[in-house]
Amino acid sequence: MTHNLKKTFAVLLLAIFGSTILYNCEPDVDSLGEQLFIKDQVDGNETLYDLIAYNIDNHDSIRSDASKLISEQNAAGGFTTVGVLGAFTENQFGGQKASYITQLRMPTDNFDFTGPNAKVDSVVLVMKTPYYITDSVKAPGAYDRSDFPVGNETVPVSIDKKTYPVFKYGKIGGQYNSMTINVHEVTTFLDANAKPFTRSNVDVSTGGLLGSAVFDGRVSTIAVTKKSDNTAVFNSTNDFRMRLDKDFFQTRIVDKKGMPELQNTANFIRYLRGIKISVSETDKYLFQFSPNDMEIVMYYKYDKTDNGTTTRPQTTLKFNLGGGNVHIGQYAYNRTGSQVSSALAASNDTTGDPKLYAQGMGGPSIGVKIPEEAINKLKSLYEKDKAGIISAKIRIYVDPLTWSNKHSKFGDSRFSLLPVNKDKGKDGEFVSPGFTSDLMAGFPLYLINEKPAYYDFVITKTIKGIVEGPADGIKITADNEYQFKNNVLLINQGAFARIVSSGAYFGPTFTTRAFDMNRTILVGSDKSANRIQLRVTYGTKK
């Protein structure tokens, strides 16, 4: 090894471990290999070890209630939530359909509708998405209207309307742009304390159709101002608006004024149990929206008498569809004849699978085992040859022959990686004792290469913990015992949720997996040159 290359390894080690390097006056190699670089007398080596990687069938079910539809915690301490709607079918993973179920609540208990003889004019469902393409604005733009309704009159206004395409996953363009969105009444009580109402394969009954509209794949931002004084009349941002059945709300809401059904929230959510939003089609695209920003606005008029004169002013009632309500992402799959169906049926956690299938929203996960033979070889190098591990990573290649992420206009695939206990938990989910040692130390989860496409999952500290064990005098507690065990590593489609203010991860059980639209095919324990492998770089003192 050349003098410069030896220095390179020395710098790499210091960069990776920083202040965690143990300084020792003894001439022997310590657990982090710091003495290996004295006087540049070091050889750096990279050794590859085959891994056992296999597909995990999650039975197309995932926890998808409000506590799991979280993408981040914002600076104010609240949570940004994400839902998915749409349908998409392709040969590798089959068909997928995403619907959304939610409760709704009155703004206050025993609402009195302002005055007598309330009559509903219209009802509008407003859906918003934070994920739209801002540089693809479309007309009509700015225009004037002379008869815009404001209360009991019409006034001249200026309207500025811009529309933007949403980010889509699936078939895009032309005949695939439009989908029919339907809203049905839910007739099953959504019990937040019952386990079935936390899962994506929840079964609920629905009643009548409350509304139906064609969604053209675009959301609108609208600003309406009076021509007379330039005051704002109406504003909305990045939303899709559709009319609902006003007669339903007249009968079920307004005509129940003063009755027990509207007396309090407990009564109301057992009376009007919720709504389901779905699409008619089976093969278009998926898109994401903001559940906590969604609302139903009911416009109505009532009698108002002043000095013997009765008028009929218009006002609004906004139902609360945000936090506090039961939310469920409902996902249905048709895997018949798909590649993933065959792969899951033949999955082998002893020898591994040649192709690995990862999919969010309850689709399959990937399990990775480091063979004990590989661990024993690394332990022998450490004990006999005084080898210090510099870096360790799992390299997984994207399968170039059968998959490319051509369906996405949303961004690259994201993954989470966790060590898991051998057995699944009571809910059938794999249980993780915590993040990997690397993630807890602030190291990147993975690095991406584009040509050829692969992911390098960083597990340097994890491997060092398994091979070298704890330092002398450090007691292994229940909390960190897993850091020194060769646990199965679980790879899921979906990133860890973050805290915006600090950039830290919210916790190992909080990921975007419940609403991640991506799916990826990777090369597993195949015999090809691009099979999944553990790549360990270590140094030995000459």
Per-residue b or e along 282-291, where b marks 16 or more CB atoms closer than 10 Å to that residue's CB: eebbbbbbbb
Q: Work out the average pLDDT over 239-263.
A: 96
Q: List Cα–Cα distances, 302 to 115, 148, 379, in angstroms.
A: 6, 20, 81
Question: Is the pLDDT score of 285 beyond 50?
Answer: yes
Cβ atoms of 28 and 386 within 8 Å: the answer is yes
Sign (positive or negative) of CA dihedral 29, 33, 36, 38: negative
Lowest mean pLDDT among 16-25, 57-66, 142-151, 195-204: 16-25
pLDDT digits (tens, 9 = 90+) for 438-461: 999 999 999 999 888 999 999 999
* C-alpha closest to that of 483 among 446, 445, 430, 434: 434
pLDDT digits (tens, 9 = 90+) for 161-179: 899 999 999 998 889 999 9
Q: Per-residue confidence at 472, pLDDT binned at 50, 70, 90?
A: low
Q: What pLDDT is attached to residue 422?
A: 64
Q: What pLDDT is attached to residue 425?
A: 65
Cβ atoms of 220 and 234 within 8 Å: the answer is no
Q: Per-residue confidence at 34, pLDDT binned at 50, 70, 90?
A: very low
Q: Work out the average pLDDT over 393-417.
A: 79
Q: What is the DSSP letter of 216?
A: -
Neighbours of 321 (CB within 10 A): 23
Q: List Cα–Cα distances, 206 to 2, 186, 334, in angstroms.
A: 72, 4, 21
Task: Read off the tokens for 259.
Answer: 């009755």
Distance of CA 154 to the CA centre of its chain: 44
Cβ atoms of 407 and 395 within 8 Å: the answer is no
Q: What pLDDT is attached to residue 474?
A: 61
Task: Read off the tokens for 420.
Answer: 């898991």
Cβ atoms of 325 and 154 within 8 Å: the answer is no
* C-alpha closest to that of 218 among 164, 178, 274, 176: 164
Question: DSSP E strands: which ranges in 35-178?
Answer: 42-50, 52-56, 70-73, 79-81, 83-90, 94-102, 119-128, 138-150, 153-165, 169-170
Lowest mean pLDDT among 147-161, 210-224, 271-285: 147-161
pLDDT digits (tens, 9 = 90+) for 328-385: 999 999 999 999 999 999 999 999 999 999 999 999 999 999 999 999 999 999 988 8
Task: Read off the tokens for 35.
Answer: 């003495």
Question: Is the pLDDT score of 40 beyond 60?
Answer: no
Residue type, 204: V
Cβ atoms of 66 and 518 within 8 Å: the answer is no
pTM attached to this predicted model: 0.88
Q: What pLDDT is attached to residue 37?
A: 35
Q: Which uninterrupted H or E stretch holds 467? A: helix 460-468
* C-alpha closest to that of 63 among 202, 204, 156, 226: 202
* C-alpha closest to that of 57 among 418, 512, 424, 419: 424
Task: Read off the tokens for 356.
Answer: 């690995």
Q: What pLDDT is attached to residue 415?
A: 94
Q: Per-residue confidence at 312, pLDDT binned at 50, 70, 90?
A: confident
Q: What pLDDT is attached to residue 475?
A: 65
Q: Per-residue confidence at 481, pLDDT binned at 50, 70, 90?
A: confident
What residues are paired with 184 via a beta bridge? 209, 276
Q: Judging by DSSP bridges, how do beta strands 285-289 and 206-215 pair with one another?
A: unpaired
Angle, nearest 10°, between helix axes 372-384 and 460-468? Answer: 70
Q: Work out the average pLDDT over 91-103.
A: 97
Sign (positive or negative) of CA dihedral 476, 393, 435, 498: positive
Could you tell me the maximum CA-CA distance found in the chain, to the nearest angstrom?
Answer: 104
pLDDT digits (tens, 9 = 90+) for 138-156: 767 778 888 887 767 788 8
